[in-house]
Structure 1
């Protein structure tokens, strides 16, 4: 029987004393995947990605799962994935996809391939003067500053004109974007693709007084039936990837004032795939995994 490993980390593993507030999402993914993989004749195990290589001795395929501390250990994470591949283990998504996706400058490449993207400044560091210059350049009084290597809105800041302290600095390589009202009105739309095919879509809304849509900040999700034009816009991002469609992808999009859907993120590393909005997600993934083990 082939064995599938779902990677987790110290902050998502059940029983950890340092479990994240959103670790319940790990539990929901496992609940969706484990029975579906077993029905498909596939054994299933959850393994900490930082475990020794010996822990993967009998593993045939690894899913990156809920390795949600990778952004602070990115080089070690990539090295582990490459070591697993060197052992002949199928890694999904593969190390070369992770290397491309791990720094958000990939969005610049997607835009160069014709993808509709949010206007973005890419800066190694920035201070208060840089922040105000960005506001002037975007013609806005609010900007969002994000880490170029980051996840889950960690370290993200919303800055408003006149409220940025003179000694403010952002100490990470950054991406700077105008704040778009759509995030608090319509919300963010996410499109889940399994093996290149659209599985389901959802709308993510921020809590009152918030703009971050993650569950850690009180965000909520609901199933969304995409229009043909919305599905086509999300499909265009998959088609713009510089490699074949991976096992899974979550395309997060936000609507512009002219109704264009713009890509916010193409999440290809360890995205949460929202099984609550897709009762058959586990079966879809099981079929895609089985296909990869046969090729």
Structure 2
């Protein structure tokens, strides 16, 4: 087995990384190393570095981007590559994918969020229910559902934010996630929020279950993954999670393309992650 290092969250991150670490040890061997991305030490000794557990990087984006620059300068063998991580760190990549022909959840960017921006987006999207989130975000940090006329939360007022129409399917059906390793489809899950919420993260009460891919889901996932590879001029991504849901007309639309530190939900994979392990070994 190639000598591997997995980068993890900072020591004070609130979620327990223990179960995820144990899963990666099961798949990749007990001798894999784990280093905090905030002070990783010398990574040149490793044949492959995977940023699979850098949860919370968005909380210090300046340090995160400086770290990516350092990895690039040192020519660390990182999967996915630094260019991919840098691009995927800012969710404005959705607009680049839209230009490439990918059906995304409609999105506009406000450089400094104001009530006027909310009103304009509501008119543009023909809805009075919107979702706003920071371009650099994760784990639903800074993400709010706002009705037209509601006061802006102080934490996001005046900040650069993405604005999207609220998608009722998130509560009615759920959000699909499809997983690819070295370009090969592995498995899919359906995530649902807690009653009365719209966020699907487990620590917020969300739940997930294994599922078959409904018609159209895999086609959108593969189109989005390939469009990202073509946009970035990179080889096949080692791992990718594609999040999507149906719009009110029933069309699947891309919510996010997770290429940095996605939870991979191997418990719902028929092979329990064997395809991922073999892809890492081959890569």
Superposition TM-score, scaled by structure 1 size: 0.87
The question of 1:76 aligning with 2:63 is answered: yes
Match of 2:76 in 1: 89
1:32-47, aligned counterparts within 5 Å? 32-38=23-29, 43-47=31-35
- How far residue 273 of structure 1 moved from its aligned partner, in angstroms, is 0.9
CA contact (8 A) 1:251 1:267 kept: yes
Cα RMSD between the aligned structures? 2.2
SS in 2 for 1:65: strand
- How far residue 145 of structure 1 moved from its aligned partner, in angstroms, is 0.6
Post-superposition CA distance 1:232-265 (Å, at most 9, x none): 1211111211233311111000101222110000
CA contact (8 A) 2:102 2:224 kept: yes
1:6-155, aligned counterparts within 5 Å? 6-11=6-11, 18-20=12-14, 22-23=15-16, 26-38=17-29, 43-54=31-42, 56-155=43-142
Which segment drifts farther, 168-177 or 248-257? 168-177
Structure 1: gaps spanning 5 or more residues: 12-17
Number of equivalent positions: 279
Task: Summarize the Cα distance change of 1:86–1:110 in structure 2 as closer, same or farther, 3 Å threshold.
Answer: same
* 1: CA distance, partners of 2:151 / 2:39: 42
CA contact (8 A) 2:13 2:56 kept: no
- How far residue 88 of structure 1 moved from its aligned partner, in angstroms, is 4.6
- 2:213 is matched with which residue: 218, 223, 226? 226
Q: Which of 1 and 2 has higher RCO (CA within 8 Å, sep 6+)?
A: 1
* 1: CA distance, partners of 2:132 / 2:57: 20
- 2:226 is matched with which residue: 236, 239, 249? 239
* 1: CA distance, partners of 2:170 / 2:82: 31
Match of 1:161 in 2: 148
SS in 1 for 2:103: coil
- 1:179 is matched with which residue: 162, 166, 169? 166
- 1:264 is matched with which residue: 249, 255, 270? 255
Task: Summarize the Cα distance change of 1:31–1:174 in structure 2 as closer, same or farther, 3 Å threshold.
Answer: same
SS in 2 for 1:126: coil
Which segment drifts farther, 157-166 or 192-201? 157-166
- How far residue 85 of structure 1 moved from its aligned partner, in angstroms, is 4.6
SS in 2 for 1:53: coil
Task: Summarize the Cα distance change of 1:171–1:286 in structure 2 as closer, same or farther, 3 Å threshold.
Answer: same
CA contact (8 A) 1:128 1:168 kept: no
Post-superposition CA distance 1:129-181 (Å, at most 9, x none): 22122212211111111101111110111111233269896233111011110
